[in-house]
Amino acid sequence: MKPGGCYKDMFKEALNQIQQPVIVTKEDYTIHFVNEAYEELFELNREDLVGGHLHEVFTGVPEESRMVTEMIREGRTDLKKKISYSKPKGTLLFLDSASQMFEHENERYIVTRFEDLTSQATQEKELKKMIIDMTVNVVPLSDSVGVLPLPPILHDEQKWIIVEKTAQICRDERFSKLAVNLSAIRTLDEELGEIIIRLVEVLRVLGVEVIITGVRHEIAAEFSQLDINFERIRIYQNLKQAIEYFFMDK
């Protein structure tokens, strides 16, 4: 056996021992090797891959996920990025990938290894959905009156969903009055203040009367410091006052 062949066999065996999925391609996009972890993750057989052209084997891969293509096109020797890939049966994978170019016997190869982040990404997606659901939870007081108790805003996703989700709920439930309770809000920055103003304006267009309630003393002070016009918004110190206003005879 030639020394080069022995080296290649040892190299492939070493890659097979790695638990991370690995694919080795040549500079002409020919698939040279995939390890067992790669076969398992992508649910593909080595015999169907090795020797094939990368673009012909993986026809539905979006351009931003073509690591090897990007490396060769830009003349890079390494590349790291997060990508997504849809398996033959439709399962979507979220992957952290790292590609490295090396040379052996005057031929250049690209080794790409993957880390499966699908479970983590799914958990993060479910967490974001839970956060959004907790952020916009309108409590009905009657067929026409609801209360939106805003929880502490810890994620940017919460801020930008407030207007859209609240407007949708009020439209679907046909609320004509809504009390936005800020008693759980410890601090109010200009961005959140503008979002509250935007919420009031959007709901007014939908025919919903909005009042602000549960305003702490420190929040009231921050209200006055913000360069935002709250003059057209009715504000009460507690929810009891807001409910009395909504249900009193006018």
- Both 81 and 141 in one domain: the answer is no
Tokens for 224? 């006055």
Q: Which of 68, 87, 120 is the last residue of a domain?
A: 120
Q: Do strands 31-34 and 78-86 pair parallel, antiparallel, or not at all (unpaired)?
A: unpaired
Number of domains composing the chain: 2
**Residue 150 DSSP class:** P
Q: Do strands 92-104 and 107-116 pair parallel, antiparallel, or not at all (unpaired)?
A: antiparallel
Give the chain's count of helices (H) and strands (E).
Answer: 10, 10
pLDDT one digit per residue (tens) for the chain, 250 residues? 444 555 566 777 777 778 889 999 999 999 999 999 999 988 899 999 999 999 998 887 888 888 899 998 899 999 998 888 888 777 788 889 999 998 888 889 999 999 988 888 777 777 677 766 767 889 999 999 999 998 876 666 667 788 888 999 999 999 999 999 988 888 777 778 888 888 888 999 999 999 998 888 777 777 777 666 666 778 888 888 888 888 875 5
Q: Which of 120, 141, 166 is the last residue of a domain?
A: 120
- pLDDT score for 148: 92
Q: Hey, how many other C-beta atoms are within 10 angstroms of the C-beta on 13? A: 10
- pLDDT score for 157: 65
Tokens for 137? 């939870």
Cα→Cα distances 190→157, 166, 193, 217, Å:
16, 20, 5, 17
- Both 7 and 115 in one domain: the answer is yes
Cα→Cα distances 134→126, 137, 139, 165, 198, Å:
12, 6, 12, 11, 20
- Both 89 and 160 in one domain: the answer is no
- Both 111 and 133 in one domain: the answer is no
- Both 60 and 153 in one domain: the answer is no
Cβ distance 39 to 48 under 8 Å? no
- pLDDT score for 1: 44
Task: Say how far apart CA 109 and CA 27 lie, in whole Å.
Answer: 6
Q: Which of 94, 120, 146 is the last residue of a domain?
A: 120
What is the span of the domain harbouring residue 219? 128-247
- Both 111 and 144 in one domain: the answer is no
The pTM score is: 0.51
Q: What angle do CA 196, 197, 201 make, to 5 degrees?
A: 115
The CATH number of whichever domain residue 139 belongs to comes to 3.30.750.24
- Both 32 and 66 in one domain: the answer is yes
Query: What DSSP string runs through 6-29?
Result: HHHHHHHHHHHH-SS-EEEEETTS
Tokens for 114? 């993957």
